[in-house]
């Protein structure tokens, strides 16, 4: 069933085929899966609607392609390896056969509690194997899962439950995270005070802490699976039936429920996984994301398991009980592919090389980056010290809305250029347009990144509000999917993502991507991480305000601020010099590690009364400290 590209000429050939005959190309990939009924047409699309259908009238169940299909050949192969928060606690390995049985058993348990095809189920759980089992069990019976990161506040959870009218919530008593034991069930209880649709809550025992159980509503996971059969027929789904809803926080108002469907998402996550990471049978693959994000959906659960891979799940944090924990796990489980976020890399870089020294990391074949553009300094540190200079580093660009990796090097096959996402995967047709939507052809161009042709895992709608999907992604430029990101195609034709277009500062008529200025600031040896925003400036229209986390040893604030300004001036030019530099203890981040520049923009503009809800941040307390510092 391999559709793995093995050479550069193979990539060029496949890419050309995918653009010239996209339906034939994706039809060929899809044919190697198990379908209950074949499709009548590969693709039907219109970006105006938008109305996009892949594998029209095809019937399938994604879990048959993950579980049943793999049982005979590799039932005894490890599917999931789970590494707990505490290094002393035993890790768990589930084979494909054991995963099949646990998924079927929990599918039957949910059916017994009244959940069926089309019902929405919220999963609010820590990084435990049961989170993946819950996702697959929903898919098995045709229920629509919506995973909510188990660190979101009760009000954020309630918003998502109410938006999708969820019938059931799957959760745990608590969560171990580093030195902390966090209540999880208590957040669900608070959220449900303002939700009327939820009929049942199933609670997994993880921490053993006391929780309140509401009679006739709350049930223990261990009780509901008792006596349930480990066989459960897979529900027949249409290729375009909903597989899951995943909420992304809109910068304004309520979160958007991004909808992905069964057929196209299955084909694309599989195809992108095997090609980007060059997965080989027997490899151990580890993505450090949480299942609450799209990275966890596509590249911890669905993509790897569709490929029959062994996927590692980690419950803890990179710095507990020491800053070498990631590398300890790589050596312990002989990890071959390692996929993490630039935020994690920069945080670990700040600890220096000592935490890496005890580990060989010799099993690593591929390292990857996801979540935001990676700056060059972090790229080199990761490549040289973790990949030891001989692992391809795949810098992957994609979004919740795209479902899978869109632009990336294919490990060891296509060229690797620092801080460049590089080339599109087969089937992906990116273009760069100017502000009026005119395509900028050739090399050495910079503008807004759009995609001109659908791919199988493209967003279908935003749940309950199709118009919002149209307005956000398909109406800025007629006939194009607008990513919201700026991009540059360099002299070699490689793409570099410049960050959100709304993170562009216009200084005296010069447009500058914040990522570009941040990369320059981060070149200063004392800077650990930075964020740059525009703020109203009397002379220039917009000035540049830089927030930087620094190592202050041997420096005064004034000295360091001046050095940072000089560094930017040297790297980009005087036009990009920050007007203000504020040394901060931390940056406001979402739980997935994304810097909330919206909040920093408000602080820079002095609009402290318009910050909105900061309770869902990873570190809400840092906002107060930044406000105080800004007054000085």
Q: What is the CATH number of the domain that holds 565?
A: 3.30.300.30
Instruction: Give a yes or no: residue 336 inside a domain.
Output: no
Residue 511: predicted pLDDT: 61
Q: Give the whole-number percent of the chain exceeding pLDDT 90.
A: 79
User: Is 144 within 8 Å of 245 (Cβ atoms)?
Assistant: yes
Instruction: Give a yes or no: residue 129 inside a domain.
Output: yes
Of 151-155, 310-314, 435-439, minimum mean pLDDT range:
151-155
Residue 251: predicted pLDDT: 41
Instruction: Give a yes or no: residue 285 inside a domain.
Output: yes
Torsional class of 593: left (φ above 0), alpha (ψ -120 to 50), beta (otherwise): left
> Do residues 527 and 469 both lie within one domain?
no
Per-residue pLDDT of 265-295, as tens digits, reads 999 999 999 999 999 999 999 999 999 899 9
Give the sign of the dihedral formed by CA 270, CA 276, CA 277, CA 278. Answer: positive
Locate all alpha helices (DSSP H) within 451-503, ordered by sequence. Answer: 466-469
> Do residues 292 and 201 both lie within one domain?
yes
> Do residues 153 and 233 both lie within one domain?
yes
> Do residues 518 and 478 both lie within one domain?
no
Of 97-101, 170-174, 223-227, 507-511, minimum mean pLDDT range:
507-511
Residue 615: predicted pLDDT: 78
In the listed set 487, 520, 536, which residue is the last one of a domain according to the structure?
Answer: 487
> Do residues 52 and 134 both lie within one domain?
yes
Of 91-105, 390-404, 499-513, 589-603, minimum mean pLDDT range:
499-513
Task: Name the band, by pLDDT with cuts 50, 70 and 90, for residue 510.
Answer: low
The answer on pLDDT for 452 being more than 80 is yes
Per-residue pLDDT of 76-109, as tens digits, reads 999 999 999 999 999 999 999 999 999 999 999 9
- Strands, sheet with 242-248, edge to edge from the N-terminal-most edge strand: 218-220, 200-204, 168-172, 120-124, 144-147, 242-248, 256-261, 461-462
Residue 503: predicted pLDDT: 66
> Do residues 160 and 297 both lie within one domain?
yes
The answer on pLDDT for 522 being more than 50 is yes
- C-alpha separations of 454 from 54, 227, 240, 435 in Å: 9, 45, 14, 22
**Domain hosting residue 546, numbered range:** 508-631
Instruction: Give a yes or no: residue 497 inside a domain.
Output: no
In the listed set 457, 487, 517, which residue is the last one of a domain according to the structure?
Answer: 487
Angle between helices 557-571 and 514-522 (to 10 degrees): 120
**Residues contacting residue 335 through CB under 8 Å, at least 6 positions apart:** 284, 285, 286, 312, 329, 363, 364
Residue 253: predicted pLDDT: 52
**Residues contacting residue 408 through CB under 8 Å, at least 6 positions apart:** 276, 394, 395, 396, 397, 398, 421, 422, 423, 425
> Do residues 172 and 226 both lie within one domain?
yes
Task: Name the band, by pLDDT with cuts 50, 70 and 90, for residue 153.
Answer: confident
Instruction: Give a yes or no: residue 331 inside a domain.
Output: no
The answer on pLDDT for 509 being more than 70 is no
Instruction: Give a yes or no: residue 3 inside a domain.
Output: no
> Do residues 110 and 225 both lie within one domain?
yes
User: Is 549 within 8 Å of 584 (Cβ atoms)?
Assistant: yes
Distance CA 417, CA 383 (A): 11
* CATH code, 157: 3.40.50.12780
Determine whether 197 is exposed, middle or buried from the number of CB atoms within 10 Å of its CB (0-12, 13-18, 19+): middle
Instruction: Give a yes or no: residue 388 inside a domain.
Output: no
**Residues contacting residue 192 through CB under 8 Å, at least 6 positions apart:** 158, 161, 169, 198, 201
As a whole number, mean pLDDT of residues 493-499 equals 89
Residue 398: predicted pLDDT: 95
As a whole number, mean pLDDT of residues 401-407 equals 97
> Do residues 12 and 43 both lie within one domain?
yes
Number of domains in the chain: 2
pTM of the model: 0.84
Distance CA 204, CA 219 (A): 9
The mean pLDDT value of the chain amounts to 93
- C-alpha separations of 504 from 149, 437, 509, 514, 632 in Å: 29, 17, 12, 6, 26
More confident call, 145 vs 377: 145
Per-residue pLDDT of 175-222, as tens digits, reads 999 999 999 999 999 999 999 999 999 999 999 999 999 999 999 999
In the listed set 452, 487, 522, which residue is the last one of a domain according to the structure?
Answer: 487
The answer on pLDDT for 557 being more than 50 is yes
Beta strands in 284-399 (DSSP E): 284-287, 310-314, 337-340, 366-369, 393-395
Task: Name the band, by pLDDT with cuts 50, 70 and 90, for residue 252.
Answer: very low
> Do residues 121 and 19 both lie within one domain?
yes
Residue 502: predicted pLDDT: 67
> Do residues 113 and 22 both lie within one domain?
yes
> Do residues 210 and 169 both lie within one domain?
yes
User: Is 441 within 8 Å of 464 (Cβ atoms)?
Assistant: no
The answer on pLDDT for 474 being more than 80 is yes
Instruction: Give a yes or no: residue 346 inside a domain.
Output: no
As a whole number, mean pLDDT of residues 379-388 equals 96
């Amino acid at each position: 069933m391999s559709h793995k590209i093995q050479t550069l000429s193979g990539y060029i050939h496949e890419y050309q085929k995918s653009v010239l005959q996209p339906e034939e190309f994706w039809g060929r990939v899809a044919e190697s899966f198990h379908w209950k009924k074949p499709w009548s047409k590969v693709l039907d699309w219109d970006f105006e609607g938008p109305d996009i259908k892949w594998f029209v009238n095809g019937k399938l169940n994604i879990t048959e392609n993950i579980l049943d299909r793999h049982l005979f050949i590799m039932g005894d192969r490890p599917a999931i390896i789970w590494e707990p928060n505490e290094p002393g606690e035993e890790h768990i390995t589930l084979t494909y056969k054991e995963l099949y049985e646990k998924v079927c058993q929990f599918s039957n348990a949910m059916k017994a509690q009244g959940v069926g095809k089309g019902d929405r189920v919220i999963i609010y759980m820590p990084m435990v194997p049961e989170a993946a089992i819950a996702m697959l069990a929903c898919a098995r019976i045709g229920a629509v899962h919506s995973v909510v990161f188990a660190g979101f506040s009760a009000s954020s959870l309630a918003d998502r439950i109410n938006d999708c009218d969820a019938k059931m919530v799957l959760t745990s008593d608590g969560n171990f995270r580093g030195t902390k034991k966090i209540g999880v069930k208590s957040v669900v209880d608070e959220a449900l005070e303002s939700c009327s649709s939820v009929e049942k809550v199933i609670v997994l025992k993880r921490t053993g802490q006391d929780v309140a159980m509401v009679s006739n509503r709350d049930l223990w996971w261990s009780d509901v699976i008792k006596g349930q059969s480990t066989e459960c027929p897979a529900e027949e789904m249409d290729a375009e039936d909903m597989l899951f809803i995943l909420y992304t926080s809109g910068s304004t108002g309520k979160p958007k429920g991004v909808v992905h469907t069964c057929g196209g998402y299955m084909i694309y996550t599989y195809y992108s996984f095997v090609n980007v990471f060059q997965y080989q049978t027997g490899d151990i693959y580890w993505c450090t994301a949480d299942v609450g994000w799209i990275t966890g959906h596509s590249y911890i659960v669905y993509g790897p398991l569709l490929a029959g891979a062994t996927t590692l799940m980690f419950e803890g944090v990179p710095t507990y009980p020491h800053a070498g924990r990631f590398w300890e796990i790589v050596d312990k489980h002989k990890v071959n592919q390692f996929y993490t976020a630039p935020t994690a890399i920069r945080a670990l870089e700040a600890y220096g090389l000592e935490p890496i020294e005890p580990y060989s990391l010799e099993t690593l074949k591929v390292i990857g980056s996801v979540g935001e553009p990676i700056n060059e300094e972090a790229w080199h540190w990761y490549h040289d010290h973790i990949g030891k200079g001989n692992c391809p580093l795949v810098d992957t660009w994609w979004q919740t809305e795209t479902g899978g990796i869109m632009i990336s090097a294919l490990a060891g096959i296509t060229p690797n250029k620092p801080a460049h996402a590089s080339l599109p995967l087969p089937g992906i047709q990116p273009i760069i347009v100017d502000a009026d939507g005119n395509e900028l052809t050739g090399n050495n161009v910079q503008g807004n990144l759009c995609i001109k042709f659908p791919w199988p895992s493209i967003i279908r709608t935003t749940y309950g509000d199709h118009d919002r999907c149209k307005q956000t992604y398909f109406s800025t430029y007629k006939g194009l999917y607008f990513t919201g990101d700026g991009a540059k195609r360099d002299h070699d034709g490689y793409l570099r993502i410049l960050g959100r277009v709304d993170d562009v500062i216009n200084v005296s008529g010069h447009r500058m991507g914040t990522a570009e200025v941040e990369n320059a600031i981060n070149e200063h040896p004392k800077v650990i991480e930075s964020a740059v925003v525009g703020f109203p400036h009397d002379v220039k229209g917009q000035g540049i305000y830089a927030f930087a986390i620094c190592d202050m040893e041997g420096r005064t604030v004034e000295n360091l601020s001046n050095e940072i300004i000089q560094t930017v001036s040297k790297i980009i030019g005087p036009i990009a010099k920050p007007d203000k530099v504020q040394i901060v203890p931390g940056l406001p981040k979402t739980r997935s590690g994304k810097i909330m520049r919206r909040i920093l923009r408000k602080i820079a503009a002095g609009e402290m009364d318009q910050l909105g809800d900061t309770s869902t941040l990873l570190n809400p307390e840092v906002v107060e400290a930044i406000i105080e510092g800004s007054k000085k």
